[in-house]
Structure 1
Amino acid sequence: MTRPLPPLRLTHGAVLTGPTLEERALTLACGRLTEGPAPEVDLSGYLVLPGIIDLHGDGFEHQIAPRSSAQLPLAPALSAVDRDAAAHGVTTLWLAQGWSWEGGRRDPDFAEALLAALSEVRPSLLTDMRVQLRCETHMPESAERMLAAIRRWGIDYVVFNNHMQEAELWLAERPQALASWAEKRGQTVEAFTARILAARDAAPRVPRHLCNLARAFDDLGLRYGSHDDPDGETRERMHILGATICEFPTHASAAKVARANGDPVLMGAPNVVRGGSQSGGVSARSLVARGLCDALVSDYHLPCLAAAAWALADAGTLPFHAAWELISTRPAAIMGLNDRGHLSDGTRADLVIVEAESRRIEATFCAGRLAHLSGALAARFLARPEAARALAAE
């Protein structure tokens, strides 16, 4: 594991503390934020913000397989994801990995290989990288295997995912779309159809299967939720089950039921940046404006996290501090991570330094480790002998 920097003091930056940006100094020591003297770097003209926390990202699939038929070795691909995340201000992230009857890179075999690879490279990572398992509901036969993987690899977050309605629709009415789906999973249409039919045959066992999983998740202390709830009735069932995180509701009714039950709602940052859902679901901006969104996640594009916060602030939908909370403070609270998501004495030194005028992320610190440094800020660090020596000692 890369060591934290020797003590370093960041001065004259506009630090986001609560609802305000105020000029103050922050000292980083032993991976934490603290007070006291240390070699200084002048951050005049820069914003100092809490590190971004991404609760769901599947953009890592593009690092693993830049083309659907060209998969790269997992360990170096995950290292590339780590560097990419740091460059975009992400200090804690969950890779959204499928555990699905679909096969391919969402198959249990692949999920276990990814978990093994992450365990291998974790000591060299600069960010806090974890895995969220996307558990397809119609797989009762794989329950014990999945629970064994959760225990072995320390998984702390699972979401229930149900692609059966979509699969049956495409099977009956959209053969070309079904063929494309099968190709993405590296299968023939015939083999993929057989997988759909087998999953459909499991439907009578699904309710008991989900109840058993929920009980096991509770015993393990996991956080779990559901993905793509299409309506309020589905969200209510998931809430009763114990899946209290509502991820990517596709209709406002599901978000409303989540809010009534006190369940956090997660939406995709690309939805905000693009001004709408690429799949035809509810607008994330509209949910944010109505107070029905608790956190934004990268979904398929890491750079959209910071861009979404700026977009919401620029549009007047939220003040900047509240917009940034959607990608830092609130995700931390949802996952019970009290040591990050805000900049106060004693917390992890997870922070992002942004050039105020251009809004470029020029530095990212994760637990006091320098994960990314670029642009004019790099010159400032290197121009100060004491700070340069601190960087060299990392």
Structure 2
Amino acid sequence: MNNRKGQVLPYMLVMSLILIFSWAMMVNIAKILRDKMILQNYVDNTVISVANLQARTLNLLGATNSLMATVLSTASYPMIAMFPSFSTDKVGGSMIPGPFCDYYCPKAGVAVNERYSGVLKMKKLVNSIQQFQDLLLTNYMVQSALLLNKIPDKDYKVFVIPSRYAKGTNLFNFNITDPKVWLGIKRNTKGITYYKTMNFCLDAKSKHYHIVIPRQYMKDNVSWYVQNTDFYDKKLVGIGIKTPSKNDGYPLFKNIFDVNMPVLYSLGAVGLYNVKGPMYTEKEDTSTGLSYITAALLSPMVAQQLFVFYNIIQAVAYIPAVGQVCAAVGIAAAAYYAEEATRKIITEPLNKETPIYKYNEAELGGWDAHLVPV
């Protein structure tokens, strides 16, 4: 009765089981925390990668917007030769010597020569820029999909959506395959109307004169990209999901306690910003804007046209009876042309609602992205 050997053994067995189960619980919790941190890293890295891709796309689209408008800004107002247009509702062949020029002097005795090779080249270049923009948008969607599929572990999944569609039932109210929805932009539907140039020649009193008359040629329904109604909601939300793996042996003792690892969720958000400005016009418009370099190229064109006015007025003044009256009318027309053309060349670069101005304003800031609170 006094033999007490082995009485502590049951207590040691119980304590050992408790220690083993406690150790297993800590290992399982550590596994959950590790998976949660890995998932959060995947979410943050993926959503900021998609946002940076979006920022680069916005920068490139802004540059191509400006390029398209610059090409169109070289066009002439088709009703009067060598009058700058700066508007897509009346695009005539450029009066600046070069590939877009439709100003042509046929040989003496030829009454008319129809020209449209210059404006056709202009249209083809504008359409090529638009096609390149479409390619940029397609590349954005393809690269975004590749980023979402680059998660190395098959048990981890990350989804990225604009925050404006991550609220309530809005998740099902947008076209996930349309890149314009992601970027908050749309095409300017004011369109572009192109005109042929009809060059008439007139010989009078040993002088040679030109008259340019337009004829509508083609029309495009859209031009550059502008802001959509949700343009300023540039927040992207990343949603991560980690499903339990069936073959990794976790949780420990899962067969004994009949438990499984939980499904893990994680959120991340990124905001896009440009400290210098939006880079895109707020409203649909026909004004192209004007760069100072193009303005310098247009100035000699205006001076040349004034010289033509001077020669015409000088010749008309010698017509008996009505010559002086016609010359006075010509002087008034020349003065109007000089004032209006000069005003346009001076003020158009300062027109804030044009794609050229918007890009020049914001290009030094550029679109960028950083993590923000969800």
Normalised by the length of structure 2, the TM-score is 0.21
Structure exhibiting the larger radius of gyration computed from Cα positions: 2
Normalised by the length of structure 1, the TM-score is 0.20
